[in-house]
Structure 1
Amino acid sequence: MSYPGGQLSEEKVFKDPVHRYIHVRDKIIWDLIGTKEFQRLRRIKQLGTTYLTFHGAEHSRFNHSLGVYEIIRRIIDDVFVGREHWDHSERLLCLCAALLHDLGHGPFSHSFEKVFHLDHEDFTQAIILGDTEVHAVLKRMGDDFPQKVAEVIAKTYQNKLVVSLISSQIDADRMDYLLRDAYYTGVSYGNFDMERILRVMRPREDQVVIKRSGMHAVEDYIMSRYQMYWQVYFHPVTRSAEVILTKILHRAKTLHEEGYMFRTHPHHFYSLFTGQVMLRDYLKLDEAVILYYFQQWQDEKDEILRDLCRRFVHRRLFKYVEFSPTNEQMKKLMELTALFKKAGIDPDYYLVVDSSSDLPYDFYRPGEEGERLPIYLLMPNGELRELSRESVLVDAISGKRRTDHKLYFPDDFLQDFSTKRTTKKKILEILEG
């Protein structure tokens, strides 16, 4: 199976702050990068609302996708070539799946998906298999090639080694986003020795394994991931912005269902509101479109929508306090809800519990929800050993899920003199207690 044009007459390179250079030698990759569906990723931020916490986090899913492609290219062209268990005929399939793995992300990805019950992986497959420029490029490799790429991304492709390169507990996707997100947020937590990990990767029948001599580099990678989640991805200020973003979308949807007449009609949202999202409508959505509506809705008649949009646009975020869903805390939440209503503050939009949870590493636990393929070490005698059996550090955190809860609210509303003094006092006593 070959692509018309094969290799480019001259290698193309992208300057990249993480990998220095991203090399493109295959015409199919160059053609995919030029499609309108892939170019759309320039207008989708990699880290959603994180730019409101870390001002450098303006990078896009476009440069992350290029980064994942480059890591995979290095693995299969420099490390795997000529090794047992690696079928080099799968090379272009791997490269295309790596490049396109995030193709279906929407604006402010996960918050957007949560409100409208969408799944970016479903849209990724729909773009690959639908009437798109991406599909037309892939089909030049053969009628079944788009389906193979979609299967790799869906983790259903028959060659599990190919899948593990792009989706596993130590894959190209995670390695790129940790390094890239650390670079753009200006933190050091996400840095680890990727060069060492790539050198000690080895192909096996069903997945990538790591030489025993590279165990400490993998430990460093896992701890970097742990730190990035709690210091960056789950940062409470970022979560405050996500709470407001989510409530804006909920409010707009509710107003539409109630027949509210918007001053700026949300034409781009209509299919989302009805739950009948067509691919052509979805591809018109990016963060510039969403922010346009937020700008316009600052002047809407509806007080809640107007206020939430002003908060998001001008970064007037909610305050937060620690919250634990114990019986006692839940009673306090019910009391707060009643007091907010008494004060004329809608608790559905202005009193929000947000929870974040992460499992930094786990191994296969039969029958348990969220089973994970473990990381295996290749021992000097050829035996495979699960990572936590060799690493005291990884064993200490294996299977241990950490969860954090915060209660978000608008502190400025509580300082409003129109709120009755006794009500305000009770609210503050509960929040501060």
Structure 2
Amino acid sequence: MFEEHPTIRTTRQVSRLTIQRVRDPVHNLIEFDTQVELERVVWQLLQSRPFQRLRRIKQLGFSELVYPGATHTRLAHSIGVFHTARQLMTTVRKKSTENNETREKIALSAAMVHDVGHGPFSHAFETVGKRLGLKLADHEVMSDELIRNGEIAEILNNGFMAGFAANVANMIKKEGKITLHNSVVSSQFDADRLDYMQRDRLMTGSKHSAIALVWLLANLDIGNVTTGIDDTEVGTFPTFVIGPKAIQAAEAYVMGLFQLYPTIYFHKTTRGAELLFTEILVRLVRLVQDGAVERTGLPANHPIVRFAREPEAVESVLALDDTVVWGALHLVRLSEDKLLASFADRLLNRKLFKCYDIRSEIAHRVDPHNLSESQDLARIEKCCASIAQKLQQLESEEEGAVPRVFVDATERKPYKAGGSSHGHNEQIYVRTDGGMLIDIRQRSEVVRALSVYKLTRAYYDPDDGDARKIITDIIEGEITNVRH
């Protein structure tokens, strides 16, 4: 993955390499000049154990079950974020008087390390953590720990100055002084979003979500916007804003980001695989913690078993990655536990549960002409919530056995309007011809018209005819209730 470009060679030795190159499918050549302090330190970060682990964690988790090309890793994304952050920093230098070399280094380092704490299958692992109350399964908590302590902290502190790692961690957590450099790391136009939107689209082969990146970057400006809580103004902070010529490009950006969710991140097959993974990991951890390792099919020294025993130990989490889980499935499918054996075999061989799109069914039955009148929308919401509740109750009643039905319900807003002391950093501000800064919703009917994407689904064994009947009977009962 890394290409080395040597400097002058002699007959006795090769002089120190100064330019290191990464050939990237999104950004082409990404170069690191190791004679430059920042780039030398970032290159050292890439060689560290926590970063090399990211080679074995895919950016999109189980999306490759739907999009075979979606095998790109968290490592590739992190390098792309750093590269994009350097481009954004050029805008900061050109258009702001707030030039601060130390803050630049902190922001660029933060862009590089922001995802270092992701666990196997990324966000699916966080769902496991929430179910079991395991704080290090949260990638933000784990990233913070890795940045402040251990190998990454040593590289940052020795490469720059004492306390530098803590400053990087604070910027990622939005703690301490907020300057324009924070926008490079966290804003509507931050380096993270700008990289993954391009990378995920390219690697999945999706034709949705195209953005005019060059035009957006060319029309990025700097503005001071008001921040506050509710209706109380707290102060102002500098952030990226767009000029009036980039309204359409910004609309496409908002829509593109939004489209990634129904087409890729919330794809029914991906979510179904995540469901199986979650149930497997939760059951494994619980069995180990209950002293029943022999029922898992895994040896006592397996990384997953060690993690279950010491979930608060950083080393336990660092030992986990996608390959560890895939390898474990071959053993787990021979487990004494029926759920583990069944679900491991399903996930390993892509024999996933069937998806029943409850919300789509309810919407068609309640509002067949798609008029979206308020009373119909209210009936749809009430119906979906009630069905989900009843199915979840059925699922909980079957605890200990292999559940027959699982519920998946979530939503995604197309545009986050803020609402907290840091919330306004999530808004897109447009500079008008008169020099005023206004929210893009005030200028764009397209953004204003976008509605929240919601899903309510049930997953069931396609060979279990009774399971589908249970779902349809509950749906029919709820539709009858909302019509009366």
Please tell me the TM-score bracket, short chain as reference. Answer: 0.7 to 0.9
Tell me the distance in 1 between the aligned counterparts of 2:257 and 2:49: 32
Shift of 1:334: 4.4
Q: What is the TM-score with the length of structure 2 in the denominator? A: 0.78
Alignment partner for residue 80 of structure 1, among 60, 79, 92?
A: 92
Amino acid at match of 1:379: T
Tell me the distance in 1 between the aligned counterparts of 2:468 and 2:94: 72
Matched residue, 1:419 = none
Shift of 1:222: 0.7
Shift of 1:74: 1.3
Tell me the distance in 1 between the aligned counterparts of 2:387 and 2:198: 42
Alignment partner for residue 243 of structure 1, among 275, 284, 295?
A: 275
SS of the aligned residue for 1:33 comes to helix
Shift of 1:22: 1.5
Matched residue, 1:214 = 246
The structure-2 alpha-carbon separation of the partners of 1:71 and 1:113, relative to structure 1 and needing over 3 Å to count, comes to: same
Shift of 1:193: 0.7
Matched residue, 1:396 = 449
C-alpha contact 2:57 2:121 (8 A) present in aligned 1? yes
Amino acid at match of 1:380: D
Q: Deviations over 1:311-354 (max 9, x none)?
A: 0000000001122574588469748976998xx99776331100
Shift of 1:135: 1.1
Amino acid at match of 1:279: V
Amino acid at match of 2:455: D
Shift of 1:116: 2.2
SS of the aligned residue for 2:285 comes to helix
Mapped pair 1:184 → 2:184: no
Shift of 1:273: 3.1
C-alpha contact 1:211 1:377 (8 A) present in aligned 2? yes
C-alpha contact 2:417 2:423 (8 A) present in aligned 1? no
Amino acid at match of 2:443: E
The structure-2 alpha-carbon separation of the partners of 1:380 and 1:102, relative to structure 1 and needing over 3 Å to count, comes to: same
| Aligned ranges 1:91-240 → 2 under 5 Å | 91-117=104-130, 118-132=137-151, 134-140=152-158, 141-204=160-223, 205-240=237-272
Mapped pair 1:265 → 2:265: no
Q: Deviations over 1:114-159 (max 9, x none)?
A: 2123311111111011122x11110021112101100111111413
Unaligned runs of 5+ in 2: 1-15, 34-38, 131-136, 224-236, 360-380, 477-484
Unaligned runs of 5+ in 1: 1-7, 415-422
Aligned-residue CA RMSD in angstroms? 2.9
C-alpha contact 2:180 2:238 (8 A) present in aligned 1? yes
Tell me the distance in 2 between the aligned counterparts of 1:186 and 1:313: 24
Amino acid at match of 1:318: F
C-alpha contact 2:52 2:75 (8 A) present in aligned 1? yes
Alignment partner for residue 21 of structure 1, among 21, 29, 32?
A: 29
Tell me the distance in 1 between the aligned counterparts of 2:175 and 2:400: 45
C-alpha contact 1:240 1:318 (8 A) present in aligned 2? yes
Matched residue, 1:4 = none
Tell me the distance in 2 between the aligned counterparts of 1:410 and 1:370: 42
Tell me the distance in 1 between the aligned counterparts of 2:467 and 2:17: 71
Shift of 1:363: 2.1
Tell me the distance in 1 between the aligned counterparts of 2:95 and 2:144: 31
Tell me the distance in 2 between the aligned counterparts of 1:379 and 1:334: 51
The structure-2 alpha-carbon separation of the partners of 1:111 and 1:313, relative to structure 1 and needing over 3 Å to count, comes to: same
C-alpha contact 1:152 1:162 (8 A) present in aligned 2? no
Which is worse superposed, 387-396 or 100-109?
A: 387-396
Shift of 1:91: 2.1
Tell me the distance in 2 between the aligned counterparts of 1:299 and 1:381: 69
Mapped pair 1:317 → 2:339: no
C-alpha contact 2:358 2:384 (8 A) present in aligned 1? no
Mapped pair 1:305 → 2:340: yes
SS of the aligned residue for 1:407 comes to strand
Alignment partner for residue 43 of structure 2, among 30, 35, 45?
A: 30
Mapped pair 1:41 → 2:54: yes
Shift of 1:409: 0.7
Matched residue, 2:427 = 374
Shift of 1:383: 2.1
Q: Deviations over 1:366-390 (max 9, x none)?
A: 69x9776311112333321211111
| Aligned ranges 1:2-17 → 2 under 5 Å | 10-17=18-25
Q: Deviations over 1:240-292 (max 9, x none)?
A: 10111111112212322443223323642345435742112211111111112
Shift of 1:33: 1.3
The structure-2 alpha-carbon separation of the partners of 1:33 and 1:383, relative to structure 1 and needing over 3 Å to count, comes to: same
Tell me the distance in 2 between the aligned counterparts of 1:212 and 1:9: 45
Tell me the distance in 2 between the aligned counterparts of 1:36 and 1:425: 47
Alignment partner for residue 405 of structure 1, among 435, 439, 456?
A: 456
Q: Structure 1 vs Structure 2: percent identity of aligned residues? A: 29
Tell me the distance in 2 between the aligned counterparts of 1:139 and 1:396: 48
